[in-house]
Homo-oligomer: A and B are copies of this chain.
Amino acid sequence: MVDRTALPIRRRRHARPQELLDAALSLFIEKGFAAARADEIAARAGVSKGTLYLYFHSKEDLLQELIAQRFSSKIAISFHVATDARASLDMLREVVATWRSALIEGDAGGIVKLLFTEARNFPVLADFWMREVITPTRLLVSKIVKHGIERAEFRAVAPNSVVDALVLPLIAACLQRHAINPHASSDGTPCGHDDLNSCFELVLEGLMDRPAERTPTPTRMTA
């Protein structure tokens, strides 16, 4: 909406812009874009309100920069998991573990929450989510699953169903953590880390061709 090519504004001197982006990200996640106030962002970055506008043209510009700089580095993890010699099961486990450490244990989950929260106000977010996150992830998981089916490690299931069964719980857990848990009386903490792990194992069990030798802990099973 704003022509950002007109005045590039000298940015990125010192760490100031990065601190502002961090502050903006955390506030956007906490309160949403519309409810986050510019003063508050500046205050959280330790600068005055006017300084914010030395580095960014507008509040919306902050969001655009966040998408361009932070999201891609934190979220759009490009997996280079080639369908190598390892067991497909382990490759899936690795993918899931990587995601879980980024989304649930790391701080990328907040970005996911923000993406879902603001996607309808800023379609570019929806595009980003689909293009940079979902599509590559689904392709990757699909590739592994197909590879596993070809090598008879997995049953012949629709790859998309595996993608859904593995990726969707992650997303939901991530949103639950950043949207609900901060305020809910934490009597029954759902979607804990261990729960998610056993959830994934349950799905992987359903993928396996041989129900024998089942063990709750993820035991390596060579072909």
In the bound assembly, the distance between CA atoms of A116 and B216 in angstroms comes to 32
Contacts of A181 in B (CB 8 A): 126
Contact with B along A193-212 (1 / 0, CB 8 A): 00110110111111101110
Per-position binary interface string of chain A over residues 117-152, scored 1 when its CB falls under 8 Å from any chain B CB and 0 otherwise: 111110100110110001100100000000001101
- Whether B130 pairs with A180 at a CB distance below 8 angstroms is yes
Pick out which of these stretches binds chain B: A16-24, A46-54, A59-67, A171-179.
A171-179
Q: Which residues of B contact A222 (CB under 8 A)?
A: 156
Chain B minimum-CB-distance residue to A122: B183
For chain A, the bracket of interface size reads 35 or more
Asked if A184 is an interface residue, CB under 8 A from chain B, the answer is yes
A198 to chain B, nearest CB (A): 4
B158, A165: Cβ atoms closer than 8 Å: no
Cα distance A113–B204 in the bound complex, in angstroms = 28
Q: Is the CB of A223 within 8 A of B169?
A: no
CA distance A129 to B180 in the complex (A): 8
**Closest CB of chain B to A54's CB: distance in Å?**
12
A28 to chain B, nearest CB (A): 11
Shortest C-beta distance, A94 to chain B (Å), equals 19
Of the residues B118, B130, B190, B210, contact of A211 by C-beta under 8 Å? B210
Is the C-beta of A182 less than 8 angstroms from some C-beta in chain B?
yes
A161: interface (CB < 8 Å): yes
List B contacts of A169 (CB < 8 A).
164-165, 168-169, 172
A221 lies within 8 A of chain B by Cβ:
yes
The residue from B126, B161, B221 contacting A198, defined by CB atoms under 8 A apart: B161
Residue of B nearest to A118 (CB): B32
A117 B117 Cβ-Cβ under 8 A = yes
Is A185 in contact with chain B by the CB < 8 A criterion? yes
Task: Tell me if A117 and B119 are in contact (CB < 8 A).
Answer: no
Is A34 an interface residue when CB atoms closer than 8 A count as contact? yes
Indicate if A7 sits at the interface (CB-CB under 8 A).
no
Q: Point out the residues of chain B lying under 8 angstroms from A44, CB to CB.
A: none
Determine the chain B residues whose CB is within 8 A of the CB of A199 once the complex forms: 160-162, 164-165, 168
